[in-house]
Amino acid sequence: MYLRVLLATACVALAAGCTTASGPTFNLDSVTLANGTQAYRAQCLGVFESSESCLEQVKKVCGSKPAVRVATIDRVASGMKPEDDPREILFACSTPVPPHSQPVPQPQPQPVPQAAPRPVPQPAPARKVTLQGDANFELNSASLTPAAKASLDDFIGANRGVDIQQLTIAGYTDSTGSEALNNRLSGARARAVQSYLASHGLRAARNNVNGYGSTSPVAPNTTAAGRAKNRRVEIQVDGQ
């Protein structure tokens, strides 16, 4: 005895069909479901038939397409319990979904190497300055004038941060006056410059401060212009 158990009542209730094939062990109908889907019904209800006959028809109809089971009717044994032995299968053949193609990885643009920025050239420290002429000291005195102080301030600013190993300051005069006076005046002016530099932050590991009088002239002492050039204090730093 067989009991037809309908698993998809909504779909099958409106299905209409006609026999498309039959054999000793099966019947195959083509049906249209209520939603318009083309489906098939394989029946294997005889005594000598089995569910294998139905499943074989499912495979033949769908071929390489996946078979979607809409409803089944199991064989029923004593006690009206189904035996999980389908004897009627309502199925449809679905179109296989192509495997999701993986996107082809695109080459990533390589970063363009950037040229290293050129170092900003730093101003070279002023290594030497000369206070020359009568505008830098009072007459016959070691007192610095405002003009001399302004020149020394520029020199200090240019050497700020420089590791000064040695500071050399040399004072000179023209040939007028006695040798003793010239030596004393040139030395006093050299020391006045050193004192101003140190008090404004320019110091060195070693100091060489001397007055040389009228020796080593840079211009003839025979003219007023030449003598003015010889009255000078030369300052030089050595360091890094």
Residue 208 has pLDDT above 80, yes or no: yes
> Which one is predicted more confidently, 6 or 154?
154
pLDDT tens sequence across 71-83 = 877 765 555 454 5
In the chain, what are the domain boundaries? 9-93, 128-239
Q: How many CB atoms lie within 10 A of CB 219?
A: 15
Q: How many CB atoms lie within 10 A of CB 174?
A: 19
Q: Which residues contact 113 (CB under 8 A, 6 or more apart)?
A: none
Block residue for tokens 């030089």: 236
- Strands, E assignment, 104-205: 128-132, 164-172
Contact 75, 65 (CB under 8 A): no
State the pLDDT at residue 105.
Answer: 80
DSSP 148-172: HHHHHHHHHHHTTT--EEEEEEEEE
Report the C-alpha gap between 144 and 209 in whole angstroms.
16
Homologous superfamily in CATH for domain 128-239: OmpA-like domain (3.30.1330.60)
Q: CATH for 9-93?
A: 3.30.200
State the pLDDT at residue 12.
Answer: 40
